[in-house]
Chain A
Amino acid sequence: MNKKKSSIKLYIHYISINIRCMMQYKSSFFLNVTGQFLVSFTVFLSMFFMFKRFSSVEGFTYSEVLLCFSTILLDFSLAEMFARGFDSFSVMVRGGDFDRILVRPRGEIMQVLGSKFELTRIGRMLQAIMMFIYGIMASGITWNFSGILTIVFMIIGGTVVFSALFLIYASICFFTLDGLEFMNIFTDGAKEFGQYPTAIYGKKILLFTTFVIPYSLFQYYPLLFLTGRSGNILLMFLPLGACWFIIPALMLWKFGVRHYKSSGS
């Protein structure tokens, strides 16, 4: 218990170091926040203009897609804010910095997480929260208890899945020494394409995102329930089911750590 407490304390300390470090370049920091904001804002704008031209896509209206887009963005930003330390993990492995982490008497996941805390992602976060509030208000859904619960589950499920994906991305570095660009399609790509309900990409993609990487479990299916397309109460709990994905991710990480051979100089 005590160890856990001190771990959290250390994590907060890591974050504060990172923040102070970033504040050394103030103008760059603010531009960074603006930039992050713009990145997701332009994606929203393109969606907005698409719907100006086409009124609906596969039966989904603008407000429904907006809700979908904003929850995915929020999931991604939450996961990214805390788990993006894994993003630059390849640098850590290649430089041999991971050795230093292993010899310290603390959990290695926590240390990697703390190594890079992206405060600049606050821009994206801000954008996500604004979008989310807008999405909730514009959705035209009457927010009863089960509706609120569904959306909370969606956020939990999504954040867990994205964090798991970041973890997998990092674990692969143990074997390849380099971040595989291919993983981008599952993280950034999922955020980009996940703005539309997964069903619009066709049956095969829907199957893939249901059974292999469970995007649909926290996106498409609960959306069906939320928008009243389906009354099946089971759909509400599916996002929690998506959390299974963290287990293989953790296993892969453990496996990777055990097989780690230092490459640094």
Chain B
Amino acid sequence: MGLQYRAAALAGIVTQFAWGFLEILMFRAFYRADASAFPMDFSALSSYIWLQQSFLALFAAWMMENDIMDSIVTGNISYELCRPISIYNMWYTRSIANRLARAFLRCFPILAVAVFIPNPYGIAAPASLLHFLLFLITLILGLAVTVSFCMLIYVLAFFTVSAQGLRIVFTSVVEFFTGGLIPLPFFPEKMQRVMELLPFASMQNVALRIYSGSMGGYEMKKAVIIQVFWLVAVTAAGKLLCHVAEKRIVVQGG
């Protein structure tokens, strides 16, 4: 479907490219001001930013399924409720599929260009093969956690009807705590330690940092365990809430 609007896809890729570029320039200015205060290698940071732009569609909290939100507001949800499948599972797979498709379309052009940008500003090779494999695993885990969280918002929309507000609050909190604005290592150490335990850190933060090797062996193990824990916990909470919502739902509109 993404290919049907080629101009739009191209414009999107260019936007993300410009965005990543400006971000790197901004960090460069800080790097020049005081290189010793920089918490990670500059090339690791560049890789972080390019990967973040490439896989934006996997982790962007604001990219929610508008169809789901609209169906709750308009009442079309009743059709979906009639179907003999769990809406939670259906929405979950649909979100994952959509995000994967979008990311697949976008990541290659961005990565391809970023590879040719001269060192320290382009994307570097992964720290090792092990790091790369772990990167792939945590990328998928991170995607699953992100979607589980979005599911919570969809389900909560049953209770507030218009979920726009909930969505904005959620999006801004996620963006901040997941390292979307600045990577987690840039926060003060104490804060960072707390933030790493939160479910938000299990989204993009882990994968992007593992790739460039800015996490130690023990840290990586811990991060993966936390990811799995949050995946299970958030999904369970979402399913439970969905169950409650389905029972008390009143469909409005006709």
Q: Determine whether the beta carbon of B161 is less than 8 Å from that of A34.
A: no
Contact with A along B33-54 (1 / 0, CB 8 A): 1100101000000000000000
Q: Determine whether the beta carbon of B182 is less than 8 Å from that of A189.
A: no
**Interface flag for A142 (CB, 8 Å):** no
Please indicate the chain B residues that have their CB under 8 angstroms from the CB of A58 in the complex. 29, 32-33
Please indicate the chain B residues that have their CB under 8 angstroms from the CB of A30 in the complex. 165
Give the contacting residue for A189; candidates B18, B30, B39; CB below 8 A: B18
Complex Cα gap A178–B30 (Å)? 37
Residues 1-43 of B at the A interface (beta carbon under 8 Å):
5, 7-8, 11-12, 14-15, 18-19, 22-23, 25-26, 29-30, 32-34, 37, 39
Contact with B along A36-69 (1 / 0, CB 8 A): 1011011101100110111111100000000000
Q: How far is the CB of B183 from chain A (nearest CB, A)?
A: 10
Q: How far is the CB of B149 from chain A (nearest CB, A)?
A: 15
Complex Cα gap A50–B33 (Å)? 12
Contact with A along B165-203 (1 / 0, CB 8 A): 111111111011000011000111001000000000000
Sorting the interface of chain A by its residue count into under 10, 10 to 19, 20 to 34 or 35 or more gives 35 or more
Chain A minimum-CB-distance residue to B32: A58
Q: Determine whether the beta carbon of A35 is less than 8 Å from that of B29.
A: no
Q: How far is the CB of B113 from chain A (nearest CB, A)?
A: 16
**Interface flag for B86 (CB, 8 Å):** no
Q: Determine whether the beta carbon of B25 is less than 8 Å from that of A202.
A: yes
Q: How far is the CB of B188 from chain A (nearest CB, A)?
A: 6
Complex Cα gap A184–B62 (Å)? 15
Q: Determine whether the beta carbon of A31 is less than 8 Å from that of B25.
A: no
Give the contacting residue for A196; candidates B29, B168, B173; CB below 8 A: B29
Q: Determine whether the beta carbon of A49 is less than 8 Å from that of B188.
A: yes
Chain B minimum-CB-distance residue to A199: B29
Complex Cα gap A70–B173 (Å)? 21
Residues in chain B within 8 A of chain A (CB atoms): 5, 7-8, 11-12, 14-15, 18-19, 22-23, 25-26, 29-30, 32-34, 37, 39, 160-173, 175-176, 181-182, 186-188, 191
Residues in chain A within 8 A of chain B (CB atoms): 25, 27-36, 38-39, 41-43, 45-46, 49-50, 52-58, 120, 176, 178, 180-182, 184-185, 189, 193, 196, 200-202, 205
What are 23 A-to-B residue pairs whose CB atoms are below 8 Å? A25-B165, A28-B163, A33-B165, A36-B168, A38-B169, A42-B172, A42-B175, A46-B176, A46-B181, A50-B182, A54-B30, A55-B34, A57-B30, A178-B5, A180-B11, A181-B8, A181-B11, A182-B15, A184-B15, A189-B18, A189-B19, A193-B26, A196-B26
